[in-house]
Amino acid sequence: MNRRMAVLALPVCLTACGGGGDENREPEAAEPAKPAPQLTVDLYGDSIGAGYAVEITPAERIALMRPTWAVMDYSVYGLKLSELMEVFPTIPRTAQFVALALGFNDANEEDPNFETNLRTAIEIILREGRTPVLSGIVGVRAPTPLMVRYNAATHRLAQQYGLEHAGWGESFQPDDVNPDGIHRTQEASDRLAALLASAIERAAQKKAMVSSR
């Protein structure tokens, strides 16, 4: 298992009410138990999801925007979907919704199996009784044909499986990127977070409607 795969075993759980403890602090009266999160999310992303060059990552922003959610962040710099799929079937998951925000590195490195891997990941998530949500491939000023093709594949699979899609590729604006031409400014990263949060919310509403029938 390479280093990036090892990092997947150490996700960060983010909620708006979290905080570290101080072992030397004087004991206080017990606080009322906090209610269980209204909605739980596992986020699998690359350096965009991990928040390269920004102070607040997309997962952190989602937790701030949706304080009743718990977001488990599995984002890893440089991660490809093909690498994730080496361990994805055996990673324990408890979240209701699983956001797949990968594919840029697969396209950039010309990995030929992105659509097959995404389909497999979707089907694993569905078999687990969870709901997949797709981000799409983030945009750049001059996307390669493979980036365009892979983004189209995310839309095609979302339609085929009836999934919500965040439209990350379609939201691209020329001033979204840092000088490296790939990674996002804070404003652009926050917009991606908002789009993904809205897609997860739509998926939750759809699931609730189905359950109420």
What is the three-state SS of 4-36? HHHHCCCCEEECCCCCCCCCCCCCCCCCCCCCC
Mean pLDDT of 35-59: 93
Q: 143 with 110: CB under 8 angstroms?
A: no
Mean pLDDT of 78-83: 97
**Non-local CB neighbours of 164 within 8 Å, separated by 6+ positions:** 133, 134, 158, 199, 200, 202, 203, 206
Mean pLDDT of 183-189: 98
When the candidates are 3.40.190.10, 3.40.50.1110, 3.10.560.10, 1.10.390.10, the CATH number that belongs to 3-14+36-212 is: 3.40.50.1110
What pLDDT, on the 0 to 100 scale, is given for residue 210? 85
Q: 69: closest CA among 107, 87, 93, 96?
A: 96
Q: How confident is the model at residue 23 (pLDDT cuts 50, 70, 90)?
A: very low
What pLDDT, on the 0 to 100 scale, is given for residue 212? 75
Q: 78 with 108: CB under 8 angstroms?
A: no
Rounded to 5°, the CA angle 148-108-169 comes to 35
pTM over 0.75: yes
CA distance 157 to 50: 24
Q: Is the pLDDT of residue 181 over 90?
A: yes
What pLDDT, on the 0 to 100 scale, is given for residue 209? 87
Q: 80 with 111: CB under 8 angstroms?
A: yes
